[in-house]
Amino acid sequence: MTYFDAASSAPPHPLAREAFLAAWEEGWADPSRLHREGRRARLLLDTARESAAEQVGCRPDELSFTTSGTRALHTGIAGSLTARRRAGRHLLVSAVEHSAVLHAAGAHRDEGGAVTEVSPDRAGRVDAGEWAAALRPDTALAVLQSANHEVGTEQPVEEVAEGCAAAGVPLLVDAAQSLPWGRVPGSWSLLAASAHKWGGPGGVGLLAVRKGVRFAPPEPADEREWGRSPGYPSLPAVVAAAVALRAVRAEAVAEGERLRALVDRVRERVAREVPDTTVVGHPALRLPHIVTFSCLYVDGEALLHALDRAGFSVSSGSSCTSSTLTPSHVLRAMGVLSEGNVRLSLPRGTTEAEVERFLDVLPGAVAGVRDQLTAPAVSATASAGAGEGGAGEEAAGADVAGDGSASGGHAAPVQPRRRGAGAGALGERTVNALGLRCPIPVIELAKMMPRVPVGSVVRVLADDTAARLDIPAWCEMRGQEYLGEVPLPAEDGAGAVYRVRRSV
């Protein structure tokens, strides 16, 4: 197997394993005790803290070790909001933050606080000016990632930090993805990170709180870690995390240049060799090891299984690969295609041969999944003449009923048209995709479009949440006019009617 999912968890660094075992032998005692074993453990803990603080760019006494990156984020957010309660209860975040941040924001909202989410552009990057405009007199805290974990886009942290400082608002930076590649620039106030993102062990997070930043530990007082993280962390894991961070940073420039060249190759060849595929994320302002793309008419889970059988471990933000069956909140906020989504995040040491083998396998894997779904052929989808159905449409056996509804021949049954949902306006055709999961609603829309005249409207009835994102994205890719959506009548249940006018 070739592992291409370092953004989820990087493979353990060899030096981290050695450091862990050594610290296990020497640092098992309570580092608060004055006896010899305790002093030895304390020396290991202090050395690890100094090393990690140097890589972060803060003082050792500003850095605390937590039990995870999520714990660091939750503690940092809760501690800042509690300490600045008199300033206000407004929390400012971006819409593409890690789910840990959005969950903390949701809890704050449930407790009566106010939350504003700043939306990014289609590349996943927020605008520093819009961020500054979203700051309010009652803003207690702002949270912004340094780089996105799904698409790799880097955020304008330095400019945002300047705006926050001018407004007197502390900025917490989630540096989990970027810290292995370098320090976070700017006058940030708090910073959180996670060791397993750079080859350290799981169960170790970093929380930095600058001197002068108001912070009230959200949990009962504890004399360890300056009260910011209760209990002693695992000393062997902390030592291993600090050693791994120093090791990856020592080679970050050279390894970053090498991996960026490989990612550039993937971006170029995927766009060129895999039809109906969109590479997402910023083309230049991005981390060197992450590339993400979405494939039209592809079930994300099926594609991941196909790639896994071919020997590649990758991840996805497609709704069909998640337990909630909702598309990635990052892709949704960006407004880009979510179906058939694949993220490659190359670990240190990835070879040219491994990337080439992936690029050789990918087109066939995508084509195989599309064949299973009887997706439209490229020629049929792009056809400009009404009635020019291609091989994909014929294979699916789409049927146009006399009342203008359509259904496709898939394994998942098409529900009967619900009362009040199928009767369209004169000249409109209806695609009934109720009960069908991504990417079937878009596939059925694509099959219908060549069968109606230019200027006609197709209505898609769908209750899969990904349709809200993927149908507009399909229209943009295909040059068709998206007319918007309206909810289904209450008696027809959940879902919406999406209207598309054929333009070409």
pLDDT band at 385; cut points 50, 70, 90: very low
Backbone angles phi, psi at 245, to 5 degrees: -65, -45
Show the domain range for 344. 252-372
Residue 394 has pLDDT above 60, yes or no: no
Which of 316, 344, 372 finishes a domain? 372
pLDDT of residue 400 exceeding 50, the answer is: no
- 92 and 238 share one domain: yes
| 486-490-493-497 Cα dihedral, nearest 10 degrees | -20
- State whether 313 and 431 are in the same domain: no
Residue 41 CA from chain centroid, whole number? 38
Rg from Cα positions in the chain: 26
pLDDT at position 285: 97
Residue 2 maps to a domain:
no
Q: Are the CB atoms for 100 and 73 separated by under 8 Å? A: yes
**Confidence bin at 364 (pLDDT 50/70/90):** very high
DSSP H or E segment with residue 295: strand 290-295
Is 331 a residue whose pLDDT tops 50?
Answer: yes
pLDDT value, residue 96: 97
Q: Is the confidence at residue 26, as pLDDT, over 60?
A: yes
| Confidence at residue 218, expressed as pLDDT on a 0 to 100 scale | 82
Q: Could you tell me if 213 and 353 lie in one domain?
A: no
Whether residue 52 is found in the same domain as residue 180: yes
Query: What CATH number does the domain containing 310 carry?
Result: 3.90.1150.10
Last residue of a domain, one of 250, 273, 288: 250
Closest CA to 480 of 440, 461, 452, 441: 452
Higher pLDDT among residues 133 and 30, named by residue? 133
Q: Are residues 225 and 279 in the same domain?
A: no
Do both 314 and 365 map to the same domain?
Answer: yes
For residues 242 and 169, state if they share a domain: yes
CATH number of the domain bearing residue 396: 3.30.110.40
Number of domains in the chain: 3
Is the pLDDT at 107 greater than 70, yes or no?
yes
With contact defined as beta carbons under 8 Å apart, do 313 and 1 qualify? yes
pLDDT tens digits, one per residue of 422-470: 334 447 899 999 999 889 999 999 999 999 999 999 999 999 988 999 9
Is 78 contained in some domain? Answer: yes
Q: Does the residue 427 lie in any domain?
A: yes
Give the model's pLDDT for residue 288: 98
CATH number of 150's domain: 3.40.640.10
Find the helix or strand (DSSP H, E) in which 278 lies: strand 277-280
pLDDT attached to residue 230: 75
Say whether 483 sits in a helix, a strand or coil: strand
Residue 403 domain-assigned (yes or no): yes
**Mean pLDDT computed over 193-215:** 96
- 282 and 140 inside one domain: no
The domain boundary residue, chosen from 250, 275, 290: 250
Q: What is the DSSP string of 163-188?
A: HHHHHT--EEEE-TTTGGG-PPPS--
Q: How confident is the model at residue 320 (pLDDT cuts 50, 70, 90)?
A: low
pLDDT classification of 413: cutoffs 50, 70, 90: very low
Q: Are residues 93 and 25 in the same domain?
A: yes
**Weakest mean pLDDT among 147-151, 325-329, 337-341, 497-501:** 325-329
279 pLDDT exceeds 90?
Answer: yes
Kindly state whether residue 381 falls inside one of the protein's structural domains. Answer: no
Mean pLDDT of 289-316: 95
Q: Which residues are catalytic?
A: 320
- Residue pointed to by tokens 């959200």: 218
Q: What is the pLDDT of residue 144?
A: 98
For residue 233, the model assigns a pLDDT of 78
Domain check: are 298 and 363 in the same one?
yes
The verdict on residue 109 lying in a domain is: yes
In a domain, 380, yes or no: no
Kindly indicate the confidence band of residue 82, based on its pLDDT and cuts at 50, 70 and 90.
very high
pLDDT (0 to 100) of residue 59: 97
Q: Is residue 290 part of a domain?
A: yes
Residues 357, 216 share a domain: no
Whether the per-residue pLDDT at 127 is higher than 80: the answer is yes
Average pLDDT rounded to a whole number, residues 120-144: 97
Compute the average pLDDT of residues 4-13: 96
Residue 64, SS3 per DSSP: strand
Say if residue 204 is in the same domain as residue 246.
yes
